């Protein structure tokens, strides 16, 4: 069966196996574009092909054309294990068994191994396997006008086989036998495919690890008790029982019970979070202590985990601008290499009198050493590992292009509340009037604010608990919206705690009165995040200018900026004003905007890179290109470091891929490289590029 999902907008999703690198993905991409399909997205990492079409009836032909390129469209839901004979590992082992004796004849004096018929018998199964594995793909790619690397391998190995076969039929002697060259080329390239497949699996492990969290069972509460069901079967509104040690199957709200939940797979923070009635829980997190009963709220594709996986898949498929050069070269690579191989043959044969044998071996060496796959793998493998490492640190990057956009950042613009500050208010300073003590004032504030449900009131009460107070007993307390609290104590004293009646140039924004006599002025503000100062210092150390852009009062913004060491401040900014500020800085250099992802949405969209300081419940905000699930400011530094090192890895990979081909092709053309050595070098060029990308997984990352 074939899986495709057609949504209202006619979006088709296919699961396609057999893609080894970005060149494979490019061949499918070009095919679909030639057919006039829109919104084409091909990811060899997730084995997904997506496109939009207005005509469903063309689907069977589109699928047939994709399979004609040598790939296979499968139904992921009913995916059968790969047949034994179709596994690339088994193909390699099969070929290696016949190739080994062919190579041994070069070092062992056993007469029968030098027999041309024996060599033909040993080489034939390997050549036929090569025809099946590389030939079909090569022919289909040529037919569709998108030649791939298999064309080079097939022409090279076939040339060596036919040359040797002619020598055998005409009994021209051992100088015309190159069966071992044909077999070795095929076997070594298959070995490269095996190593490449395993390496690519490691680069895509982040998405696969997250997908494993979806494959769990759940205890669904029913009338007769509890039934065990798959997480995929859970519907919104179902009541689920989650016990200690269990994984929360889907997003939901806690109905009863208390627990400690490890949310590290979402936020990157290893400290368990306490959950009780009315709290939200996220699918995939682990209950470390306690038992809870939850009601499912977000299931299937609406769950936080599904959105994260979808974002990562899209991000892995998004190409950074640096990849465009590699794609352009890879697109014309195969025809150019074939042309170089032909010129090598002609020049060597006619200009140097080297003879047919030497000319052909040089041409074959050119074809088998060339490796467009290394260029095709250079960028996506580094991007996949970089995005995976970021995700494990609670950082969701929405596209590989975002990583390059972060490079050479000149300015980082910060919103104030919820970004550099916690959003939790506390008393910054109390200024008592003459005749009143600090203990009296604290006692009145606590007594009055205890009667209010306002978040700021609760913050003030909590902040004063640790300090000595003179207790009072209130008879009444009423809240006047937009003004403050009025109260009367048992002794008949009237109190008012609220907004300052007269604007003052200082930072005091609350005033406390007793019987219309001012007792104190109070400065209340949200508290600065613990890591804010060190973040600003690190940015400045790396040559990035921090800028505060806030809708808050100018004086409060200046106080915060002075505390953190920020020199450029834009206060009392409305959303439209923030857009103008972002535009102004973008004209000066690359600009990142960091905000809470809600009221800063326009500015986040306008910046080169928008970063949302948010929690998992707001993961779907589309305005930002980066979402920090863990609102710890250390995540900002980690994001910048991972992006910088990922881009560095991409550049290293591209350098190796280009340098390898620039050096190897002329060396092969000049006859300094045996085709077998060329095949070996080609097979491992991919592995070196992928290995460098995998190194990013555990590499020590510094600013």
Can 415 be counted among the known catalytic residues?
yes
Determine the Cα angle at 580 with ends 574 and 585, to 5°.
125
Determine the Cα angle at 411 with ends 406 and 412, to 5°.
80
Report helix, strand or coil for 1.
Answer: coil
Helix ranges (DSSP H) in 131-174: 136-143, 149-169
Report helix, strand or coil for 703.
Answer: coil
Sheet holding 484-489, edge to edge: 421-432, 517-528, 510-514, 494-499, 484-489, 474-480
Give the gyration radius of the chain's Cα atoms: 34
Q: Which two tokens stand for residue 221?
A: 């509460």
Q: What is the DSSP letter of 319?
A: P
Where does residue 239 rank: exposed (0-12), middle (13-18), buried (19+ CB within 10 A)?
middle
Cα–Cα dist 632/269, whole Å: 9
Residue 514 vs residues 142, 166, 345, 438, 484: alpha-carbon distances, Å: 90, 111, 102, 14, 14
Q: What are phi and psi of 591, to 5 degrees?
A: -130, 130
Strand partners, 430: 522
Contact assessment for residue 39 and residue 118, using Cβ atoms and an 8 Å cutoff: no
Tokens 């960091």, residue located: 594
Contact assessment for residue 229 and residue 241, using Cβ atoms and an 8 Å cutoff: no
Q: What is the DSSP letter of 194?
A: H
Contact assessment for residue 278 and residue 260, using Cβ atoms and an 8 Å cutoff: no
Contact assessment for residue 27 and residue 146, using Cβ atoms and an 8 Å cutoff: yes
Helices (H) and strands (E) in the chain, counts: 22, 24
Where does residue 235 rank: exposed (0-12), middle (13-18), buried (19+ CB within 10 A)?
exposed
Q: What is the DSSP letter of 544?
A: P
Q: Residue count of the chain, please give it.
A: 703
Q: Residues with Cβ < 8 Å from 478, sequence gap 6 or more?
A: 485, 486, 487
Sheet holding 48-52, edge to edge: 38-43, 48-52, 11-17, 72-74
Cα–Cα dist 8/19, whole Å: 28
CA proximity to 21, closest of 382, 320, 377? 377
Q: Which two tokens stand for residue 446?
A: 């606590």
Q: Residues with Cβ < 8 Å from 186, sequence gap 6 or more?
A: 95, 99, 126, 127, 129, 130, 133, 134, 153, 157
Cα–Cα dist 520/181, whole Å: 93
Report helix, strand or coil for 95.
Answer: helix
Q: What is the DSSP letter of 688?
A: H
Given 246, 401, 415, 600, which residue is catalytic?
415
Catalytic center residues: 415
């Amino acid at each position: 069966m074939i899986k495709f999902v057609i949504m209202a907008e006619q979006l088709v999703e296919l699961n396609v196996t057999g893609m080894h690198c970005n060149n494979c993905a490019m061949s499918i991409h070009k095919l679909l574009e030639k057919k006039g399909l829109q919104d084409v997205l091909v990811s060899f990492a997730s084995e997904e092909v997506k496109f939009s079409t207005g005509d469903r009836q063309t689907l069977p032909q589109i699928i047939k054309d994709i399979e004609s390129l040598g790939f296979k469209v499968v139904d992921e839901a009913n995916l059968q294990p790969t047949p034994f004979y179709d596994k690339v590992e088994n193909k390699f082992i099969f070929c290696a068994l016949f190739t080994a004796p062919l190579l041994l004849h070069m070092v062992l004096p056993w007469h029968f191994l030098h027999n041309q018929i024996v060599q033909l018998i040993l080489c034939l199964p390997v050549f036929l396997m090569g025809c099946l594995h590389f030939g079909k793909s090569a022919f289909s790619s040529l037919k569709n006008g998108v030649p791939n690397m298999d064309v080079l391998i097939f022409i090279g190995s076939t040339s060596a086989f036919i040359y040797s076969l002619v020598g055998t039929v005409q009994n021209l002697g051992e100088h015309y036998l190159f069966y071992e060259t044909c077999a070795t080329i095929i076997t070594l390239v298959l070995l490269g495919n095996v190593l490449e497949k395993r390496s690519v699996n490691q680069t895509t492990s982040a998405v696969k690890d997250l997908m494993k969290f979806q494959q769990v069972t759940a205890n669904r509460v029913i009338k007769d008790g509890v039934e065990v069901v798959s997480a995929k079967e859970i519907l919104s509104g179902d009541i689920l029982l989650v016990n200690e040690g269990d994984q929360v199957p889907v997003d939901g709200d806690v109905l009863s019970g208390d627990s400690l939940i490890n949310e590290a797979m979402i936020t990157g923070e290893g400290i368990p979070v306490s959950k009780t009635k009315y709290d939200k829980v996220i699918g995939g997190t682990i209950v470390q202590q306690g038992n809870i009963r939850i009601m499912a709220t977000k299931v299937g594709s609406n769950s936080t985990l599904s959105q994260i996986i979808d974002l990562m898949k899209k991000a892995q498929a998004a190409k950074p601008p640096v990849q465009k050069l590699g794609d352009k070269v890879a697109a014309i690579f195969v025809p150019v290499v074939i042309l170089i191989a032909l010129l090598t043959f002609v020049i060597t044969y006619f200009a140097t009198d080297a003879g047919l044998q030497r000319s052909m071996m040089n041409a074959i060496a050119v074809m088998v050493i060339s490796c467009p796959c290394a260029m095709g793998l250079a960028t996506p493998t580094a991007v996949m590992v970089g995005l995976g490492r970021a995700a494990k640190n609670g950082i969701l990057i929405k596209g590989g292009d975002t990583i390059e956009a972060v490079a050479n950042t000149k300015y980082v613009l910060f919103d104030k509340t919820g970004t550099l500050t916690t959003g939790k208010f506390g008393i910054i300073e109390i200024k008592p009037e003459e005749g009143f003590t600090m203990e009296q004032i604290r006692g009145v504030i606590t007594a009055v604010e205890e009667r209010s449900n306002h978040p700021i009131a609760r913050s003030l009460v909590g902040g004063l608990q640790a300090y000595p107070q003179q207790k009072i007993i209130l008879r009444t307390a009423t809240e006047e919206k937009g003004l403050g609290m009025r109260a009367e104590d048992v002794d008949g004293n009237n109190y008012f705690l609220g907004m300052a009646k007269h604007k003052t140039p200082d930072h005091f924004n609350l005033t406390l009165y007793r019987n219309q006599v001012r007792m104190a002025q109070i400065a209340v503000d949200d508290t600065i995040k613990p890591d804010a100062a060190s973040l600003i210092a690190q940015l400045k150390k790396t040559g990035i200018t921090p800028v505060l852009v806030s809708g808050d009062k100018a004086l409060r913004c200046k106080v915060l900026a002075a505390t953190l060491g920020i020199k450029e401040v834009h206060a009392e900014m409305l959303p439209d004003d923030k857009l103008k500020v972002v535009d102004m800085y973008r004209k000066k250099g690359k600009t990142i905007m960091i905000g809470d992802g809600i009221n800063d949405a326009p500015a986040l969209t306008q910046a080169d890179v928008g970063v949302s300081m948010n929690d998992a419940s707001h993961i779907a905000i589309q305005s930002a290109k980066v979402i920090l699930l863990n609102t710890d400011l250390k995540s900002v530094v980690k994001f910048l470091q991972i992006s910088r090192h990922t881009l560095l890895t991409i550049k290293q990979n591209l350098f190796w891929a280009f340098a390898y081909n620039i050096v190897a092709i002329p060396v092969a053309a000049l006859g300094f490289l045996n085709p077998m050595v060329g095949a070996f070098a080609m097979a491992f060029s991919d592995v070196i590029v992928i290995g460098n990308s995998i190194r990013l997984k555990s590499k020590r990352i510094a600013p």
